[in-house]
Structure 1
Amino acid sequence: MLKFSIKDIVLGKNVHIPAESDYRKSLLVGVSCIILVFVSTVNGLLNIIFWDISLTSSFMVGILGGTLGFTLNRFRKFELAKHTLLLIALFFVFIFMSNEGKYYGSQLYLFTILVASISLFGYKRVKVWLFYAVLAFLCFAISEFTNYKLIVVDAINEAKEDKIYFLNYFFTFVSLIIIIYFQVKLQYKSEQKLIKKDLQLKESEERFRLAVEGTNAGIWDWENINKDQQWWSPKLYELLGYKPEEIEPNKMAFKNLLAQKEDFPRLVNDFKKHFRNKEPFSVEYRFKCKDGTYKWFHGSGQAKWTDDMQPIRMVGSLVDITEKKIKEEEIQEKNSLLEKSNAELDRFVYSVSHDLRAPLNSIQGLINISDTTDDTKELKQLMSMMKNRVKKLYSFIDEIINFARNSRTEIVKEPIDLISLTTEVFENAQYREQAAAIDFRLLVSENLIVHTDQGRLSIVLNNLIDNAIKYHRHSQPGKFVAIKSIEETNSVIIQVIDNGQGIPLQAQDKIFDMFYRASDNSKGSGLGLYIVKEMIERIGGEIYLKSEPGEGTTFSIKLPKE
């Protein structure tokens, strides 16, 4: 079964007019043309059959004019169709008005024409429909106050006049009803579409809001780039710890929130690159939050350009990537440590193999010599030399064990009475070789407590004291080794001071390197001071060196109190 709608009749099937207002006006033009043709046809037939008035040609103007307007409208010549319809209708009505129209009631059609002109051109095109209003008024004035007639019609009797007046009134009334009905109906449909679009927009906004909240992203909208008009979403304020009324969204507020002011020029440059070259906008920077903490954010956005490629608007997002950055820094730190450990391991394996072989080869050589002699004195001397080599091996093995433990053993912080620990270190040192003639001075404050790893600190102090004894000027009088404490607000400085040989200037920058020996006369393995530095850093401290060759050396260890 075929179905036809008013739209199909007036505009044709499968015709799409994008603008809603243009669609309504074109539909109204077609309907008005049909009304003009209908009124002209009905009046023409009545004239031929009943009234016998010489206006057949005038009715033909209405029929042909309405048909022409309908055809133009059908072929999408909407503007021309509107003017054609209104001009033909005015001409048609003027013919009857100029022939005693006030008795026929023809002037009533002027109201229909005025309503149609306003509906067809809209309230914004005031000049156009005012033109037709003035034209309609001139037609009325000419017919009312002059004797000018386009067509002369013979007088008709009163009975016919009443019928013609009634028909004109009826057609005017029906025409107005139809025009108003179409306007109301089309307006209703437009409102329904707007309501539907509004619901769809709300649903879309809800989906967008849920999506944004799920991604922990704050949205910013640079509504007018030239005037710096911005909008920040509630989530963006929440990420920064602020309320919307506390910060006005603009460029200056954005700049003040940056943790590092030097980031702002870089950020401006990234914006310019995006505006100029349409490069992707993707940056990372830190913001200072209201509570004083710092957060890393990833910013991205997309600008909108005018036809002449000028940026007018930009919308983007800020995503909190603080946890990601922390993990990246942790990975980077671990990679650095791993690289360092690998490099140290290579050196460690090489040096250990060398330092273990040297005393073993020496012992093997002494054993071979002892096999060739029976002299008791010589054998005693060889045994003493072997004992020294074994002692050196034990010392080296102890250093290796300390090195391994430092990297693998957990830090155990506990309150330590510093004077008790340093007293114990000195007591152990007094029984070492060449320590008898050295004056051990304890310059540590009473009741000074430091929270740290006691085992590591003990190894560090023993190592430094042992070096001070080894490299003293043993032929000189007045030798001393001192441990001194300096208390600061949040830290404690422990100094190991001696007036021994000192360290050559060229060696001081490398003294803490693994397996570094300051000179060929060095008696150690080169691990001792490296282990000292590693242990101090593991417990959160720092170590400094001050030394003058021939004057002495001071090692300063700075540790946090807590």
Structure 2
Amino acid sequence: MISLKKIVLGEEVYIASESNYRKALMVGVAAIIMVSVCLFNWSLNTIIWGYAILSPIFITGVLGGMAVYITNRSGYYETAKHLILIVALAMLFVFMVSSGKYYGAQLYLFDVIVASIFLFGLKRAYFWIIYGLLALLCFIVSEANLIFPITIDDIDSAKESYIYFMNFIFSFLIVVVVIYFQIKLQDRSEKDLKEKDRKLKESEERFRLAVEGTNAGIWDWENINKDQQWWSPKLYELLGYEPDEIAPNKVTFKNLLAERADYPRLVKDFQNHLQKKEPFSVEYKFKCKDGSYKWFQGSGQAKWAEGEKPLRMVGSLVDITEKKEWEEQIQEKNSLLEKTNAELDRFVYSVSHDLRAPLNSIQGLINICDTTDDANELKQLMNMMKTRVKKLYTFIDEIISFARNTRTEIQREEVKLFDLASEVVNNAQYREQAATIDFRIDIDESDEIFTDASRLNIVLNNLVDNAIKYHRHNQRGKYIAVNGKSLGRTYKIEVSDNGQGIPDQAQSKIFDMFFRASDNSIGSGLGLFIVKDMVERIGGSIRLDSKLGEGTAFTIELPKE
């Protein structure tokens, strides 16, 4: 079936704008009507009045209408608009000045004005104003009878009535056609607006849900040159402010930065995006209204003018504080894991060496036992083996303590420090070489802290035991003191002696795993490493003060809670 569009505009014609499509269709239809009206009137003149020759009016209408149709069908829609109005005015002018006002030709002037309004619209009102004035000029000239003056005697009243009636009908139909196209266009425009409004609301709802789901605050740098910004309510909420408390501008943004030194970097990131069009995605810490600090990830996209000048930029701020905290924890755990792996490698090597040495010694003593029957020598060899086995037991205990400290959870409880120190000193007094040492405790009986009692007990036992081992046992006035003092929110415990002391070159490594301060050291090198590790696990710190030949003091500082 042949459609009106194919007849008027041709095959495979596509006009993107609905308005332009309707106007082009109306111009084509009007051109067809113009040719049809002229031919119809010519037929009536021929049949009724016997005028077989086309008059100038009909010739203008037929040729002009065909020219408009061809122009419009060829795709010159703007030219066709003007051409059809000019042809219509030319026809009417000739008709009015040659036939007078008695045939009602003036009625078509309204069709021209209505058509011009439809074709050019309000945005180009000057065109329909021009054509309206031209129509008025044609009317004035024809009414003045300046050209081809017509008198009432020349008019056939029957012919006049008939032609006036036909002109009225055709004029009315033309107005109806124009109004129909206008209504059709208006209806389609309303439908398009409603559809766009629906899609816009859906898009806004989708955007709102997406933004709420990402917990993002939106900012809009509306005019980059004038620093005109808009911040969404969610952005203010993330920072802890009300919209009327801080202004959305660069100065506020600068003041919100946790570190003022970050501002030049932020400016550089913006410039790289606005000038070099590099992606804008940054992480910064901001200070909130309540004094807390939050990490935010900022991202945005600018809009540039044709001259590559930035006009506007829209972006978002997303709270990534929890993510940064997790990253820091992961980084800490990775660092701890790397440290643990390094220590484990060293631990395995040192343990295998320290276990092999006494075992080799024991194996050697056993071999000697196989070569002698002397009871005294065998007894001496057995005592030497017992000493080495005891050393192995001590070393194994230290390894177990290290493993337990690494894996056992912190168990905090109220610890009375005087009672704990007394227990440690009482146990130490019965150890080998402790009988001649004066043990002193200077801790208030009411002092107590909230900590892991088991770990603190091991720490003090280890420090006191080391003080006994490395004391100067050939001198008088030997002492080991355990002192305690409250320092506000922390508590200081000091274990000191007047023993051998530690060489200066060894003090920086004294807490390292398997480190021995000298060849005379009888321990495994794990004791002080375990002490430091335990103290740090319960939130404290330990430091060493020692002078060779004068004595040593280990100071532990622990949180009270």
TM-score normalised by L of structure 2: 0.88
Aligned to 2:174: 175
Matched, 1:120 2:113: no
The residue type paired with residue 430 of structure 1 is: Q
The alpha carbon displacement at 1:324 in A equals 4.5
Alpha-carbon distance in 1 for matches of 2:153, 2:325 = 102
Alignment of 1:218-367 (within 5 A): 218-232=217-231, 249-287=248-286, 294-366=293-365
Matched, 1:544 2:536: no
Encode CA deviations 1:162-196: one digit per residue, 9 max, x unaligned: 33333333333332222122211221122112212
Helix, strand or coil at the partner of 1:92: helix
- Compare 463-472 and 78-87 and name the one that shifted more: 463-472
Aligned to 1:433: 432
The residue type paired with residue 43 of structure 2 is: L
Encode CA deviations 1:356-400: one digit per residue, 9 max, x unaligned: 233334444455556647374x66665554444343333222211
Helix, strand or coil at the partner of 2:549: coil
Alignment of 1:189-228 (within 5 A): 189-228=188-227
The residue type paired with residue 471 of structure 2 is: H
Structure 1: runs of 5 or more not aligned: none
Query: 1:149/1:117 Cα in 2 relative to 1: closer, same or farther (>3 Å)?
Result: farther
Contact 1:258-1:264 within 8 A present in 2 as well: yes
Aligned to 1:528: 527
Encode CA deviations 1:131-177: one digit per residue, 9 max, x unaligned: 22232233233333361359999933334333333333333333222
Query: 1:462/1:160 Cα in 2 relative to 1: closer, same or farther (>3 Å)?
Result: same
Alpha-carbon distance in 2 for matches of 1:151, 1:488 = 124
Aligned to 2:98: 99
Matched, 1:458 2:457: yes
Alpha-carbon distance in 1 for matches of 2:544, 2:25 = 96
Alignment of 1:51-62 (within 5 A): 51=49, 56-62=55-61
Contact 1:472-1:500 within 8 A present in 2 as well: yes
The alpha carbon displacement at 1:555 in A equals 1.6
Contact 1:101-1:107 within 8 A present in 2 as well: no
Alpha-carbon distance in 1 for matches of 2:112, 2:151 = 24
Aligned to 2:78: 79
Contact 1:299-1:319 within 8 A present in 2 as well: yes
- Compare 336-345 and 382-391 and name the one that shifted more: 382-391
What is the aligned counterpart of 1:26 among 17, 21, 24? Answer: 24
Alpha-carbon distance in 2 for matches of 1:358, 1:18 = 93
Aligned to 2:6: 8
Helix, strand or coil at the partner of 1:519: coil
Aligned to 1:480: 479
Contact 1:55-1:153 within 8 A present in 2 as well: no
Helix, strand or coil at the partner of 2:413: strand
Aligned to 1:374: 374
Alpha-carbon distance in 2 for matches of 1:128, 1:72 = 19
Alpha-carbon distance in 2 for matches of 1:349, 1:492 = 36
The alpha carbon displacement at 1:273 in A equals 3.4
The residue type paired with residue 70 of structure 1 is: Y
Aligned to 2:185: 186
Q: Percent identity?
A: 65
Matched, 1:491 2:490: yes
Query: 1:62/1:384 Cα in 2 relative to 1: closer, same or farther (>3 Å)?
Result: same
Query: 1:92/1:244 Cα in 2 relative to 1: closer, same or farther (>3 Å)?
Result: same
Contact 1:117-1:129 within 8 A present in 2 as well: yes
RMSD, aligned CA: 3.3
Contact 2:99-2:150 within 8 A present in 1 as well: no
Contact 1:61-1:88 within 8 A present in 2 as well: yes
Alpha-carbon distance in 2 for matches of 1:241, 1:20 = 49
- Compare 143-152 and 178-187 and name the one that shifted more: 143-152
Alignment of 1:43-54 (within 5 A): 43-51=41-49
Contact 1:95-1:151 within 8 A present in 2 as well: no
The residue type paired with residue 549 of structure 1 is: L
The alpha carbon displacement at 1:405 in A equals 1.2
Contact 2:295-2:324 within 8 A present in 1 as well: yes
Query: 1:101/1:150 Cα in 2 relative to 1: closer, same or farther (>3 Å)?
Result: closer
The residue type paired with residue 41 of structure 2 is: N
Alpha-carbon distance in 1 for matches of 2:56, 2:285 = 85
Encode CA deviations 1:175-233: one digit per residue, 9 max, x unaligned: 22221222112211221122123223333443444455455555555444444445555
Helix, strand or coil at the partner of 1:452: strand
The residue type paired with residue 500 of structure 1 is: G
Alpha-carbon distance in 1 for matches of 2:150, 2:8 = 32
Matched, 1:164 2:169: no
Alpha-carbon distance in 2 for matches of 1:234, 1:278 = 28
The alpha carbon displacement at 1:23 in A equals 1.9
Query: 1:504/1:101 Cα in 2 relative to 1: closer, same or farther (>3 Å)?
Result: farther
The alpha carbon displacement at 1:80 in A equals 0.9
- Compare 316-325 and 402-411 and name the one that shifted more: 316-325
Helix, strand or coil at the partner of 1:110: helix
Aligned to 1:554: 553
Aligned residues: 559
Alpha-carbon distance in 2 for matches of 1:498, 1:149 = 139
The alpha carbon displacement at 1:414 in A equals 0.9
The residue type paired with residue 410 of structure 1 is: E
Aligned to 1:136: 135
- Compare 528-537 and 218-227 and name the one that shifted more: 218-227
The residue type paired with residue 11 of structure 1 is: L
Aligned to 1:420: 419
Alpha-carbon distance in 2 for matches of 1:95, 1:103 = 14
Contact 1:217-1:317 within 8 A present in 2 as well: yes
Contact 2:372-2:378 within 8 A present in 1 as well: no
Alpha-carbon distance in 2 for matches of 1:150, 1:221 = 71
The alpha carbon displacement at 1:72 in A equals 0.9
The alpha carbon displacement at 1:295 in A equals 4.9
Alpha-carbon distance in 1 for matches of 2:226, 2:31 = 50
Helix, strand or coil at the partner of 1:106: coil
The alpha carbon displacement at 1:519 in A equals 1.9
The alpha carbon displacement at 1:256 in A equals 4.8
The alpha carbon displacement at 1:429 in A equals 2.1
Aligned to 1:471: 470
Aligned to 1:504: 503
Contact 1:223-1:314 within 8 A present in 2 as well: yes
TM-score normalised by L of structure 1: 0.88
